[in-house]
Structure 1
Amino acid sequence: MESQLRELLPFLHDRNPNVRLIALQNLLGHTEQGAAHRSIFFSDATVQRDLKILCRDQAAVAHDAFRALVNLSDAPQLANTLGERDFLAFLCSYIIHPSSVLADLAAMVLSNLSAFPKPCATLLTLEIPIVHDDALKPPYYAPYSRSGTSIAPDTLASLETVNTRALPLLLDAFVDAAKVEGAERTRKGDLHFLASVFANLSAPRRPTGNPLEYPLAKLVAYTEHTDMIRRGGVISTLKNCAFHAPAHRAMLSPESERVAGAPGIDALPYLLLPLAGPEEFDLDDQEKMPSALQFLPSTKTREADPALRLMLVESLLLLCTKRWGREFLRAHGVYEVIKVAHLAETDDNIAEHIERLVNLLKRDEPPGVQEADEEDVLEGTKDDEIEEV
């Protein structure tokens, strides 16, 4: 069987598109994880190159090529080959172009690749050429996106390209793709899997500097999005950022305050809303809470997925690492919200994490103490055993 499959590989670069399609259709099932002959795609650099090229082919061929790479891009053996700068530039350019028909598949490939160190590091600094044109929506075009399933604009005001960082463009596309169907929506893909890309890029010990606008500020609004992949990726991103204690002030500060030159992210309401239900609070308690948490409707429901609820509580725990964070959470009604969430919680593990959070928020602060040990807070050391420095 393996020898027969290898005989199909040269047809992936046949001049006849029908031949390319038939060969790809017969190979596609063998790209899946656990397939008996999946290894044929690991040892042949030519087939890896062909699959990347076929992503630019006509629709049927490109669709199966992207699907094959979605299956293969989780393999460490291919991370460096598929994560080459030129291919990442194509993926990013393709994803940000609104007319790209297969943008969601491209986002899945990028999501898998961003889990590996080298492609992740490349993405953080990647620049792609774009052409500015105010007549377009968005007002630029990425020439590297040009392919059989991503048609270029009919006319461009200029052919001059400017190298631009890919990450802010991906963020803008992610936000734009969340628009509901209507007259203003021209984008073909939903791009939910970009949330996983941002989660991977925001993993600990990958600093991105101090921008004029924190990229995280564009993501926080999606912690209650209807699509689980999108909201799960954003919640994971928030938790990853919360591991970096120096970022807590920027994460919690309101937009009206500037932290390191950029407006605050105001992430707290978006961490609490998925944990909040329809319960009513006393007016005194309501006044402590962020405005988004006040007077919630009787139809308000909590996050249904226990894994996401746990990540939200863990994020709040991490934000308690420093005394400033604990005092901020106390002053903004976190205890009041989390106390009611504890009564409604059915998962024992999450309930234990909530109890740990309550202990941190309700205890008295010894004079002069500023920080708790991050590992102890996250790992669940009893409150009276936390060493402060």
Structure 2
Amino acid sequence: MLPYFKLNDYKAVKDLMQLTGDEPLTAHDALSALINLSSDLEIIGVMCDDVFLTSLVVLTVLPKNVNADLCCMLLNNLSKFEIVAEKLLPAPSADPGVQKTHRIDNLLEIFARGETSKYNPAASFHFLAGVFANLTTSPQGCEFFLSRSTVDNSPRLSKLVVFTEHSDTMRRGGVVSAIKNCCYGASVAKHGEDVLFSEELNLLVYLLLPLAGPEDYTDEEMDGMPDELQFLEPTKIREPDARIRHTLVETLLLLTTTRYGRDFMRACKVYPIIRQLHLVEKSEAVQEAIEEVVNMLMRDESQETADGTSSAAHPSKMIKLDGEAPAQAEAPVEQDEADAQIEALI
């Protein structure tokens, strides 16, 4: 069937793109078909149209649009392709107020607020987490997410970090992947490290909370530990997904690559928390990642390189939420799981 959609200069694909703005039932079928076609690079070249991408964003944020989640799924599939991601992100020299900047900020707003908003009870917007994870795989995307929103001037990453303990695996997995990518690419962003360790973002707390259990610590261990991590409820459970735990620990490892980061993490008493995690961790990959973090925190700082970074800590490359993980990395969501969720909604 796929060759049929490529006939007559992809007329069938272009017709489906037009129908995404039609009445709900027709739009549903058109979006479902485009989701199924969005693995073909040639067809992606047709859908990689700035007007169409903007229309998908508009349909996503449109109040009470019953097909909003399908739009999120399609954006998730499209954004893993570099040619699409480049168009969704603002040009490096763009005015912060232009539309290309605002459409991603609008998606961030709807992601942060939409789940609890009454204006669209038919949508969860969880698949937008995959969009953000995909966009942050490029230096341009990292710089964008490490800068401030054009909506309220808050750090864009602050709209994601609050979901590291969300009940939905897709949402928190995509968020954790986006955070890891931003930590990996922080060196290319202006003031990247300043943002990651800022009190405004409070990133370390959001990374450690999913890894923490209901343990008791000594007064010495808690001296300097963020308040949010002390005296957790006896019912507190850790992140149940080993892949997400692995990504969280690898993100901590990325934060140890500078002397400032290591000193900051020591002052916040990261070691006692991950020590307790190691005692109960079942995944060998997560155990090994924890040991790398411990080695960096307990290391002899005379091994530090001239520029203040360490070559010892260099976890896997940025990851996209499409089930394809590069060497030494585990994608937060396998493609089979994502496909199952898509089929269930379609």
TM bucket normalised to smaller? 0.7 to 0.9
What is residue 135 of structure 1 aligned with on the other side? Answer: none
What is residue 104 of structure 1 aligned with on the other side? Answer: 69
What is residue 38 of structure 1 aligned with on the other side? Answer: 2
Shift of 1:43: 4.2
What is residue 372 of structure 1 aligned with on the other side? Answer: 310
Q: How does 1:231-246 map to 2 (within 5 A)?
A: 231-246=172-187
Contact 1:249–1:325 under 8 Å retained in 2: no
**Using the alignment, how far apart are the partners of 1:356 and 1:104 within structure 2?**
39
Normalising by structure 2, we get a TM-score of: 0.80
Instruction: Report sequence identity in percent.
Output: 39
Shift of 1:276: 0.7
Q: Does 1:226 align with 2:140?
A: no
Contact 1:204–1:241 under 8 Å retained in 2: no
Question: Which gives a bigger RCO, structure 1 or 2 (Cα 8 Å, sep 6+)?
Answer: 2
Counterpart residue type for residue 58 of structure 2: S
Counterpart residue type for residue 373 of structure 1: S
What is residue 170 of structure 1 aligned with on the other side? Answer: 107
Shift of 1:116: 0.8
Shift of 1:367: 8.2
Gaps of 5+ in 1: 1-36, 127-161, 256-264, 380-389
What is residue 47 of structure 1 aligned with on the other side? Answer: 12
Contact 1:107–1:193 under 8 Å retained in 2: yes
What is residue 254 of structure 1 aligned with on the other side? Answer: 199
Contact 1:51–1:65 under 8 Å retained in 2: yes
Counterpart residue type for residue 297 of structure 1: E
**Using the alignment, how far apart are the partners of 1:190 and 1:55 within structure 2?**
19
Q: How does 1:275-314 map to 2 (within 5 A)?
A: 275-314=211-250
Q: Does 1:195 align with 2:129?
A: yes
Q: Does 1:272 align with 2:236?
A: no
Higher-Rg structure is 1
Q: Does 1:320 align with 2:256?
A: yes
**Using the alignment, how far apart are the partners of 1:113 and 1:282 within structure 2?**
49
CA RMSD of aligned residues (A): 1.9
What is residue 89 of structure 1 aligned with on the other side? Answer: 54
**Using the alignment, how far apart are the partners of 1:290 and 1:42 within structure 2?**
56
Mean CA deviation greater in 324-333 or 246-255: 246-255
Contact 2:21–2:59 under 8 Å retained in 1: no
**Using the alignment, how far apart are the partners of 2:256 and 2:212 within structure 1?**
19
Q: How does 1:129-168 map to 2 (within 5 A)?
A: 163=99, 165-168=102-105
Q: Deviations over 1:155-180 (max 9, x none)?
A: xxxxxxx957211111111011232x
Contact 2:165–2:210 under 8 Å retained in 1: yes
Aligned residues: 294
Distance 1:98 1:287, change over 3 A: farther
Q: How does 1:6-25 map to 2 (within 5 A)?
A: none
**Using the alignment, how far apart are the partners of 2:63 and 2:230 within structure 1?**
37
Counterpart residue type for residue 39 of structure 1: P
What is residue 25 of structure 1 aligned with on the other side? Answer: none
Q: Deviations over 1:292-324 (max 9, x none)?
A: 211110111111111111100110111111111
Counterpart residue type for residue 215 of structure 1: R
**Using the alignment, how far apart are the partners of 1:368 and 1:221 within structure 2?**
33
**Using the alignment, how far apart are the partners of 2:285 and 2:112 within structure 1?**
33
Gaps of 5+ in 2: 92-97, 317-346
Distance 1:327 1:101, change over 3 A: same
What is residue 77 of structure 1 aligned with on the other side? Answer: 42
Contact 1:245–1:322 under 8 Å retained in 2: no
Contact 1:110–1:197 under 8 Å retained in 2: yes
What is residue 293 of structure 2 aligned with on the other side? Answer: 357
